[in-house]
């Protein structure tokens, strides 16, 4: 453990079987302090499951999860606030932890959501809501941030702004980030490591070498290519219909 001072969470060959079906199998990954790891993959490929395994939400898993911190900030996928529950942003901020006024303001300011403090959660737009979720997750100054599709329901410009913000937060808090992207091909340039899942780890690598991809720049402009990258998948296998994996 001494040599892994910067490691926040380490998954070794983890798998989860539910109703006789493997949701994920043989997934290994490491999130270190100050590093951003992005998970991509098609729907049902086990991205959320992997993230939940990493923070200990799934019991009865195969393999090994080592957590070196308890200070975890979590932005779940698809959170909807019911109209039956009147909830203001301010109340939402202190949902799982007591926070003083100053810390609430600080976190909201960090994500550019300080003007929303007295708004009802139900009245927020998609982008505003994601910023509030992010503010809540960072308010406790976590070591590990787990973000499950933090840019969903946000348009392209908003997406770039949010990714920039996530990078800023990572630098400021010096925390590790496990990010799940809803897009199979574009990921944050700031990502240190990309893992493509499809029930298992299909491929992985750094996105940096494709950040300057000319076609991509042409399509989205210089500004975008500083924030988003196209991730080129280098698969060495194919999935057949019966779930078998064949090497090319």
Partner 1 sequence: MFDDFFIRALIAGIGVAFVTGPLGCFVVWRRLSYFGDTLAHSALLGVTMALAFEINIAISIFIISSVIAIILVKLEKNTNLPGDALLGLLAHSALAVGLVVIGFLSFIRFDVMGLLFGDILAVNVDDLIIIWGGGAIILIVLKIIWKPLFASTVNYELAEAEGLNPDRAKAIFTILMAAIIAISIKIVGLLLITGMLIIPTAMARNISDTPKKMVIFSICGGLLSVIMGLFSSLQFNTPSGPSIIAAALLLFVISLFKIKQTIQLKN
Residue 85 engages partner 1 in binding (rule: CB under 8 A): yes
Q: Determine the length of the chain.
A: 248
Q: Which stretch binds partner 1 (CB under 8 A): 48-56, 104-112, 159-167, 225-233?
A: 48-56
Strand segments (E) across the chain: 7-18, 21-32, 36-40, 62-67, 72-75, 144-148, 176-180, 186-188, 193-197, 201-205, 228-230, 237-239, 245-247
Please answer whether residues 145 and 111 qualify as being in contact, where contact means their C-beta atoms are separated by less than 8 angstroms: no
- Scanning 49-57, 61-69, 101-109, 198-206 for contacts with partner 1 by CB under 8 A, the matching segment is 49-57
Q: How far apart are CA 203 and CA 239, in angstroms?
A: 13
Answer for which of 26, 42, 63, 76 binds partner 1 (CB under 8 A) is 76
Tokens of 143: 């070591």
Applying CB under 8 A, among 12, 17, 79, 174 the residue interacting with partner 1 is 79
For residues 169 and 141, give the distance between their C-alpha atoms in angstroms, rounded to a whole number. 10
Q: Judged by CB under 8 A, which of 15, 41, 73, 127 binds partner 1?
A: 73
Least distance in angstroms from the C-beta of 20 to partner 1: 15
The reply to whether 65 sits near partner 1 by the rule CB under 8 A is no
Tell me if 88 contacts partner 1 by CB under 8 A.
Answer: yes
Work out whether 242 is an interface residue with partner 1 (CB under 8 A).
no
Under 8 Å between Cβ of 139 and 103: yes
- The yes or no reply on residue 74 touching partner 1 (CB under 8 A) is yes
User: Which of positions 91-110 make contact with partner 1 (CB under 8 A)?
Assistant: 91-92, 95-97
Nearest CB to partner 1, comparing residues 115 and 234: 115
State how far the alpha carbon of 173 is from the alpha carbons of 29, 46, 54, 96, 107, in Å.
22, 28, 20, 20, 11
Residues near partner 1 (CB under 8 A): 52, 55-57, 70, 72-74, 76, 79, 81-82, 84-88, 91-92, 95-97, 120, 146
């Amino acid at each position: 453990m001494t040599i892994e001072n910067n490691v926040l969470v380490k998954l070794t060959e983890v798998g989860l079987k539910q109703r006789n079906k493997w949701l994920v199998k043989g997934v290994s990954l490491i999130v270190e302090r100050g590093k951003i790891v992005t998970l991509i993959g098609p729907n049902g490929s086990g991205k959320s499951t992997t993230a939940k395994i990493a923070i200990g939400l799934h019991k009865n898993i195969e393999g090994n999860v080592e957590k070196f911190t308890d200070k975890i900030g979590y932005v779940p996928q698809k959170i909807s606030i019911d109209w039956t529950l009147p909830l203001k942003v301010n109340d939402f901020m202190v949902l799982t932890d007591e926070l003083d006024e100053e810390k609430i303001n600080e976190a909201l300011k960090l994500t550019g959501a300080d003007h929303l403090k007295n708004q009802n959660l139900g009245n927020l737009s998609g982008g505003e809501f994601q910023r509030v979720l992010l503010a809540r997750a960072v308010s406790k100054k976590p070591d590990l941030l787990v973000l499950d599709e933090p840019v969903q329901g946000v348009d392209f410009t908003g997406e770039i702004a949010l990714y920039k913000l996530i990078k800023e937060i990572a630098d400021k808090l010096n925390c590790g980030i496990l990010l799940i992207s809803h897009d199979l091909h574009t990921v944050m340039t700031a990502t240190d490591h990309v893992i493509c899942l499809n029930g298992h780890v299909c491929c992985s690598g750094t996105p940096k070498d494709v950040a300057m991809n000319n076609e991509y720049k042409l399509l989205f402009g210089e500004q975008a290519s500083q924030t988003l990258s196209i991730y080129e998948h280098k698969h060495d296998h194919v999935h057949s219909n019966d779930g078998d994996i064949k090497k090319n």
